[in-house]
Amino acid sequence: MRNVLRANLWRLVKSRAFHLALAAMLAYTALIVLVCWDHYATGTGSYTLESVLTAGFGLMGYLTIPSLIMAPLLALYLGTEYGEHTLRNKLTVGHTRTEIYLADLATCILAAVGLDLLSLLLAGALCVYPVMGMSGVLLRASPGQVLAWIATALLARAAWAAVMKLLTASMGSPSAAAVAALLLVVLASLLCSYGFHQMEYLVHRMADGTAVENGEARLAFWQFLLDLLPTGQSLQVSRLDTPNLWRLPLLSLGVAAASTGAGLVLFHKKDLK
């Protein structure tokens, strides 16, 4: 499997899709940094570094831009293997389908998490000065809390990559997979936005003492949905509002395991001829 993974990574970093995704992530990071410096220059901001570090996981707390950037990259990279008969060549030289699938999955996770880490490091390093100038302190949350948020979001990204791998394996065509991946990210973001709206509405009504039918159950349902979806986890971290932080990694591991298991079953049955 190690040789397959090494070949995958080499092919990935040479692909034009990866170069475009890297450029897009750098542009998105530059936007975050420019907004931070603009707030410092105009005196309109007072946030600390944890807000900068987590901002990249969800634009304004509603849209996961990195997922939109990575979706076509992973779909095109994985889907091309079917079109160029790369998978058949790997099988011919003696690699098993399980090895191939897991190596592809590891490649997806490394690419997605790697670009997130690059964005985090650049945004953090370039925003230390304006953050100190705005608030006078670097962090309001403890370093352990900030690391927990970041680790949770990165694990959610890994689970999202596992879902992307399953989606691509089920479709095969790179163009169809890319469109489906983008639609999935947009639909998940819209669902999460609606979930946030519903929770805010329910909390407001219940706080006012207004009778809400099945209010507690509805609130628990939307919170669980946001906790379960990798997109929902990323958006919660970007908002620095994670009421169930302890269970988010467990749910991410569950999503990743279920997606990988389903993908392996599907891949073993798929006709690659």
Q: Give 173-189 pLDDT, tens digit per residue.
A: 667 777 888 888 889 88
For residues 49 and 139, is the Cβ–Cβ distance under 8 A? yes
Q: What is the pLDDT of residue 179?
A: 83
| Mean pLDDT for the stretch of residues 22-50 | 90
Q: What is the pLDDT of residue 84?
A: 53
Residue 63, strand partner residues: 59
| Mean pLDDT for the stretch of residues 124-138 | 91
Rounded-to-5 percentages of helix, strand, coil across the chain: 80, 0, 20
Give residue-wise pLDDT tens across range 37-77.
999 999 888 888 999 999 888 876 777 888 888 887 777 77
Distances in Å between the alpha carbon of 162 and those of 106, 155, 198, 246?
9, 11, 28, 21
DSSP state letter for 211: -
Q: Give the helix/strand (H/E) hosting 213.
A: none
pTM of the model: 0.90
For residues 242 and 144, is the Cβ–Cβ distance under 8 A? no
Q: What is the pLDDT of residue 46?
A: 85
**Sign of the CA dihedral 9, 77, 25, 235?**
negative
Q: Three-state DSSP class for 145? A: helix
